[in-house]
Amino acid sequence: MSFLTIENLSAFYGKAQALHDVSLKVSEGEIVAIVGANGAGKSTLLDSVMALTKTTGVIRLGDAVLTGRNSSEIVRLGVGYAPERFNLFPYMSVRDNLLVGAYTAREDIARNLDMVHKLFPRLEEREHQETSTQSGGERQMVSLGRALMTSPRVLLVDEPTIGLAPKVCLEIADVLRRLRTEFGATIVITEQNANFALSLAERLYVLESGHVTATGTVDELRDDVRLAEAYFGH
């Protein structure tokens, strides 16, 4: 049974249509990647799940219909979001940025904080540091950690590797893998970096100009020309 279901999702910015009839399914415990070039609609897709855009179509999480609800209800129903531009509070400490994410936590805040510190020991070591003084990789970790503080049933991560050095990308991939294996997380990531997506996800969707043009397992899509096009752009 699929867990997160998106059916015929279209998204609009005024009269401009950014997504066209996008359908996708994510099963519980799976890592799915949405791969596409800059401007393909990756952020719009995740923003749409969070009710941050104007859409048509239906989005469900388990038995709950997300469509028509506001963002905070969607967080409460179990969708965690680490957006592309982080939106951290730069002059607040790492710890306080994490606790901001806990305002809707249904479960024990201390337990979530413990999980975040297990995944990112550096965030515990530097819990009093302002995020404005952190590296891009550390800020990505705070952003992921903050999303985890909401006790998500599914975690949406927008371009986790953007602007990060290869070594830091490996660290992020490792944490996302551990989230699945150790904590049973269900994860949707978007990526321009097809190699990163291939190394992490079980299944991929290729997004081109707001359309899903290919979908399949990593093995099925590894040599797909559409994936290469999505990777290199047009």
Ligand X SMILES: Nc1ncnc2c1ncn2[C@@H]1O[C@H](COP(=O)(O)OP(=O)(O)O)[C@@H](O)[C@H]1O
Interface residues with ligand X (CB under 6 A) are: 13, 16, 18, 36, 38-44
The distance of closest approach from Cβ of residue 169 to ligand X in the complex, given in angstroms and rounded to an integer, is: 18
- CB-based closest residue to Mg ion: 43
Residue 41: CB minimum distance to Mg ion, A: 8
At closest approach, how far in Å is the CB of 215 from ligand X? Answer: 16
- Judged by CB under 5 A, the stretch of 8-16, 41-49, 127-135, 140-148 that binds Mg ion is 41-49
Residues sharing a CB contact under 8 Å with residue 230, sequence separation 6 or more, in sequence order: 35, 36, 37, 40, 194, 206, 207, 208, 213
Q: How far is the CB of 201 from ligand X (least distance, A)?
A: 16
| Dist. CA 223–CA 197, nearest whole Å | 13
Strands 54-61 and 211-217: unpaired
CB nearer Mg ion, residue 84 or residue 130: 84
The stretch among 17-25, 81-89, 92-100, 212-220 that binds Mg ion (CB under 5 A) is: 81-89
CA-CA-CA-CA torsion for 58, 64, 68, 74, nearest 10 degrees? -110
| Shortest distance (Å) from residue 53 CB to ligand X | 8
How many residues sit in the footprint of Mg ion (CB under 5 A)? 3
**Total residue count of the chain as it appears in this document:** 234
Which residues touch 215 (CB under 8 Å, ≥6 apart)?
A: 24, 203, 204, 205, 206, 221
The item of ligand X, Mg ion, none sharing an interface with residue 40, based on CB under 5 to 8 Å by kind, is ligand X
In the bound complex, what is the minimum distance in angstroms from residue 194's beta carbon to ligand X?
13
Determine the Cα–Cα distance for residues 232 and 44; give it in Å rounded to an integer: 20
41, interface contact from Mg ion, ligand X, none, CB < 5-8 Å by kind: ligand X
Q: Which is nearer to ligand X, 22 or 119 (CB)?
A: 22
**Closer by beta carbon to ligand X, 39 or else 62:** 39
Kindly indicate which of the ranges 7-15, 79-87, 119-127, 163-171 contains the residues binding Mg ion, using the contact rule CB under 5 A. 79-87
Judged by CB under 5 A, the residue of 35, 36, 43, 143 near Mg ion is 43
Q: Are 150 and 80 in contact (CB under 8 A)?
A: yes
Residue 167 makes CB contacts below 8 A (sequence gap 6+) with none
**DSSP summary character for residue 40:** S
Q: How far does Cα 178 stand from its chain's mean position?
A: 15
Write out the residues near Mg ion by the rule CB under 5 A: 42-43, 84
